[in-house]
Structure 1
Amino acid sequence: MTSQTAATGKGYRGLVLAMLLLVYTFNFLDRQILGILATPIKDDLGLTDAEFGAVGGLAFAILYSVLGVPLALLADRTSRSWVITGALTVWSGFTALCGFASGFWHLFLFRLGVGIGEAGGVAPSYALIADYFPLEKRARALAIYSLGIPIGLALGTLLGAYIASSVDWRVAFLTVGIAGIVIAPIFRLVVKDVPRGVAAGGPPLAPVSRVFPMLARKKSFWLMAFAAGFSSLCGYGLALWTPSVLMRSFGFDLITTGQFMGSLLLIGGTAGVFAGGWFADKLGHADHRWYAWLPAIAWLITAPTFAAGLSTSILPLAWVLLLVPNGLNILWLGPVTTAVQNLVPPHMRATASGSFLMINNLIGLGVGPWLMGAVSDGLKESYGIESLRYAAIGCLSFYLLAAVLMFIAARFLRAEWWHEDAA
């Protein structure tokens, strides 16, 4: 793939990355809009914290995690750009349908549909970036793509707050859903696949029966996947519930919450994601263990700074303290996704990414939002409106577990790295 990548024009390569970033922004915009709308949705539909946590996490994660692997395999064997286009259309359509929900099960099923669509977006995008960008630039390219997370989270928070305050929470879902459907055909017209397998003079595309055994033998894959999963347990839980913590514990209204959260996610998140990719390219090229060391160090700092920011009652101090972990908690995206891409040959990349994302999301999305909501419900009798704040703080211990696993993964990474000049 290296020769093909070198032959790809830099201008077009940048355009492909920009389009992938736009689609990924919609991916997380559709997710985060649910978090900022938690209070009006719960009031309108009469949901408990645990029920809303299930809608925000479990409903999304069930098919999102499971379908990620077969859709990634489909992308490896057919067209990555077509799979991404179809995924964007499906998840945007179900996002719009969320605006018509009349109860828990309606909203649960519509979020299930959003998860089905988003299952086909990320792994093929990782693989497409790896096709277009050489190894020495890959972590930065993946980090730029991953900027869709903080940008999407920030836009989802701000747009959701303003639209819900001006009109209605249902209109917020309809607006972002329709916008995603409009973007889908434009993406397909712009983004083309890089030839792979026999058509590119390389090996035939690998069946899934070859990809899984190769990954299963690599200790670094399992350790990185579970480490990222425990980190995402906290990250997805906090993304869904922090707006509610601000409203309950700090007395914010919807607009103030959107502004507070949006600024944290946009400033801290973009800095953290880009820094992760930049440092990974600088340090990881010489020693592959840095792809694991960087996120481990970041998570060790994330846990106490998040706890301090959620505990203080001084708003300016809370903003400063929360800015740090909002950057460090997602610093792992560039380094770890690059490492996973380089545990297998190029024709296995999307399937390898899908396998990694399945583990990460089953733990992170499937458990995190529901766990924080369930713990909050359990603490309400003792702590009242502060129960959600203490539930969030208690779950931060999973960042420390993630750091330990990632430090262990670093021990195996150099030996298990797949080199692009390998036969």
Structure 2
Amino acid sequence: MSDSTTDPSLSSFLDVDANHPFPIQNLPYGVFTPPASTVPRVGVAIGDHVLDLAVLNEEGALDVPEIRDAHPFAQGTLNAFMDLGTSAWTTTRNELQRLLRADTPKLRDDTSLRERVLHPRTDVSLQLPVDIGDYTDFYSSKQHARNVGTMFRGPENALKDNWVHLPVGYHGRASSVILSGQDVQRPCGQTRPDADEPPIYGPSQLLDFELETGFFVGDGNDLGSPIPIDEASDHIFGMVLVNDWSARDIQGWEYEPLGPFLGKSFATTISPWVVPMEALEPFRTDGPSQDPEPLDYLQADGDAAYDITLEVGLQTPSMADPHTVCRTNFRYLYWTMRQQLAHHTVNGCNVRPGDLLASGTISGPTEDSYGSMLELSWRGEEPVSLPGDERRSFLNDGDRVVMRGYAQGDGYRIGFGTAEGTVRPAPCA
């Protein structure tokens, strides 16, 4: 399915290659600081440029009543815009596409305005796009859960009894969510490498990536008022790539009985551009069959998964470019974003604009589609082969992880950019 904003025939007056991640059908939102300025503001990516929405609105070039006086783009985060709700999001997207279309002269032919609002992406500084108040990480890939459960409990007890009845999740640490490109310091902590000896303190030896996506809550809900699943889509603003870095040895020692803590809270990387859900509408599809049938509050009609290709590249210090170690798809997630949000709020918990909800590691059915080194190397027993006769069971200092995602349309591609980071030595080494 598609609407006028995702029509494959749409084209911009800017030259955008068919395989570029940011065509006019996408228009992801981000926060940037333009050249010769220290004041961040909201923009959208279009091809190799960033469109300055703050200046565009100040100049009266945006015909969107909901934002004219609210000035949500003259902000250092997307939160104010996300709080305006679906009507404002849709109207703004339609207006931006109208201004950027090849057959619209308003911006195309106004050289002065174009110079003030269009910046080469290489000239701007990107910022964390959202003030993230809360961060929740789910565990929604059945293949990943089965893989990990098999490693530690055997195939007969791979999934806990509750897994097929509810989206399992835990509350993460919003303060350590970082922007793509920022280095990640190997964490120090307590581990127990020998079950017959006391625990020790030192650098994590089993550092891992986790290939995930995440979505930002737009309009939230009141405390005590759950979001029904058939209204959940109205509260989801857009998606980003997520690498929820994991120290497997720290996590393995600490997680019983309450779950992940220091093994996860040291860093979570997200991509800088938030892809609006409207851009992904043509790629909605069916997900895995859910058996047993979920309880009523988790049931929803219609396709709720998305056909989004996801890849992980690993680059060691001796390599010139990242080598693809994983290729999977968002559609493999067992629990959908709508189900995650409905379950998160069914107890009356309130979510707020800017809250981040991540999918958990996304693994597919084949060995090359597993979304973590823990699975790719099968707990370190089968190291991953890399170019130059290198091998990895887990991440070494100096290793760079690059995650990419895209949905392939007819003659255009909806891309997410990258979520990347390089591992730096632990301070306790």
State TM-score, norm by structure 1.
Answer: 0.25
State TM-score, norm by structure 2.
Answer: 0.25
Higher RCO (CA-CA < 8 Å; seq separation 6+): 1
Between structure 1 and structure 2, the one with the greater Rg is: 2
Q: Whose helix fraction is larger, Structure 1's or Structure 2's?
A: 1
